Amino acid sequence: MNLPKGFRYSGVAAGIKASGNKDIALIVSDDGATVAGVYTQNIVRASSIDWNVTITPSDQFRAVVVNSGNANACTGDEGIANNRQMAEATSAALGVTAEQVAVLSTGVIGVQLPMEKIEKGIQDAATSLADGEANFCAASEAITTTDKSPKTAQATVAIDGETVTIAAMAKGAGMIGPRMATMLGVVMTDAQITPKVAQAILDAATAASFNRISVEGHMSTNDAVLLMASGKAGSQISSATDIQQLSAAVTDVCIELAKMIPADGEGASHLIQIDVTGAQSDDAADQIARTVAASALVKTAVTGNDPNWGRIVSAVGYAGVDLQSNEINLVLNGFELFSAGQPVAFDAAEVSKSIGDNFETQIELSVGSGAGKSRHWTSDLTVDYVRFNSEYTT
């Protein structure tokens, strides 16, 4: 794995998780980095989000500390103090200021952080920092909760004769509702960019990736994605063409990561991709795609390998978008099921087999002759999902 220059990583077990798995991660830029962030839009949000909003974007950034297993959300004044204590413990271990440290937390809501364990974990993580793939993977493991495995992606791009590397890690499998990040993620690059450019790149990447996924439509209290740029790849990227090239590469990495989240949805047996075209605007197409993705009936139909096109078409109809029903067309896994507002004869057993034989289900909807389009990814809804989440804290 190619990793961007200028970063060190670590992931350790501090005893926050009952499983004993890794639960504290550090990502450090020893010589400083530019940082930008996007955060949950939930009014009920964790102390870490309020902290990070005040310190990003910045060109004086040094580190992010992550704890998993405890969200530190809805924990009042004690939670606010504990979040600051995490930043201060990290700053003391690294010799930087607390305001140069972002904090990310994920896990159960409403439980106070075990600060003695966390402070020791931060010390252990600081002493084990290294810049290699093994440490990158350890950090990516330490940020997970109910994930089946860590989620990472990487890309290298040549920009104006210089090689720029991007690497990213994310966590997320449940409580995924698409509005500003939808999970925890850290994207790192050795490109040299200003905070303004970093924020614009991250906003665009998030809009095309993490804001287009869902599992059950439940927005988290802790969602956050950070973009860190060490500047070690060469001179500052400033021309519109070069910025666009970097932005496209960051977006591709984020899309790759984003698809892993509903694919890893708790109990999921299918990843569902929904493409909507022909709408009067991109916003209208997005509203349709989100509505279809949120339908429990559509999700369970895919779980049961059932080509029940009526569930999909009716979801389009209640999406709140102005369209004509006789202009709706539906293709499922390459099979035309509905055309110009009418059903099409098809072999139900063949279409059912195509769903059952493939992990990814493709839903293509055309709703008119407009230029608006959108793509969304979600997971199906299984008995295992219900069982897992009904027993999550007990």
Q: Catalytic residues, which ones?
A: 182
Query: First CA to last CA across the chain, in angstroms?
Result: 39
Q: What single DSSP character describes residue 211?
A: G
For 10, the 3-state DSSP assignment is strand
Q: How many whole angstroms separate alpha carbon 140 and alpha carbon 389?
A: 23
Pseudo-torsion of CA 207, 84, 102, 141, nearest 10°? -90
For 206, the 3-state DSSP assignment is helix
Alpha helices, DSSP H, located in the chain: 47-55, 76-94, 115-127, 133-142, 195-208, 240-263, 282-294, 296-303, 309-317, 348-356, 383-390
* Burial of 235 (C-beta count, 10 Å sphere; 0-12/13-18/19+): exposed
As given in the structure block, the two tokens for residue 59 are 């060109």
Q: How many whole angstroms separate alpha carbon 332 and alpha carbon 338?
A: 9
As given in the structure block, the two tokens for residue 236 are 């500052």
Q: Which residue has the tokens 């500003």?
A: 180
Q: Are the C-beta atoms of residues 250 and 202 closer than 8 Å to each other? A: yes
Q: Are the C-beta atoms of residues 28 and 8 closer than 8 Å to each other? A: yes
Distances (CA, A) of 355 to 110, 238, 307, 351: 40, 46, 8, 7
Q: Bin 305: left if φ > 0, else alpha if -120 < ψ < 50, else beta.
A: left
